[in-house]
Structure 1
Amino acid sequence: MGALFGSRKRGNEYFQHSPASVAAPFDHSRNLKKYRLSVPMDQRPSNSAASRIKQYPDSKTGSYGEVQAPVRIKRFGFSHRIDGGKIRAASKECSDDKMKILLGRYQSTKNRALESLRYTTEDEAAVSLRLGNEKEPIEIDGEEENQVVVSDDSSVEEAEIVKKKLHSLNSSVVTDLSNEHAKVDVVEKMMNLMQLRHESADIVVPAHKSLYDYSLRRNDKLHSLAAEIQLTEMQLRRHLLLRPVKDTREAMRDVSEECFAPLSVEEEDDVTNALSLKSNRGKVLVSHETSNIDITGEKFQCLRPGGWLNDEVINLYVELLKEREKREPQKFLKCHFFNSFFYKKLIAGKGGYNFQSVRRWTTPKKLGYNLLDCDKIFVPIHKINHWCLAVINKKDEKFQYLDSLKGGDNKVMKMLARYYIDEAKDKSGKDIDVSSWEEEFVEDLPEQENGYDCGMFMLKYADFYSRDIGLCFSQENMPYFRRRTAKEILRLRAE
Structure 2
Amino acid sequence: MSAVAINRKRSEESLYSNQPSTAQFRRHSPYFQAPKKKRRFSLAIMSQDSNNKPSSSSTSRMARYPDAKTPLRREIHAPSRASLIYGGRGSVIKIKPNDCCEKGKFFTREYDNAKRTALDACRFLNKDKEFIDLGDEPEEEEEEAVSQDSIIEVIDCDEEEKKNIQTPSSSDVIVNNFGVGDTSRMLDSLSLSREETADASSLEAYRKLMQSAERRNSKLEALGFEILFNEKRLSQLRESRPKPLEKPLKKVPHEPFIPLTEEEETEVYRAFSGRNRKKVLVTHESSNIDITGEVLQCLTPSAWLNDEVINVYLELLKERETREPKNYLKCHFFNTFFYKKLLSDSGYNFKAVRRWTTQRKLGYALIDCDMIFVPIHRGVHWTLAVINNRDRKFLYLDSLNGVDSKILNALAKYLGDEAKEKSGKDIDVSSWEMEFVEGIPQQQNGYDCGMFMLKYIDFFSRGLGLCFSQEHMQYFRLRTAKEILKLRAD
Q: RCO (CA 8 Å, sep 6+): is it higher in 1 or 2?
A: 2
Q: TM-score, normalized by length of structure 1? A: 0.48
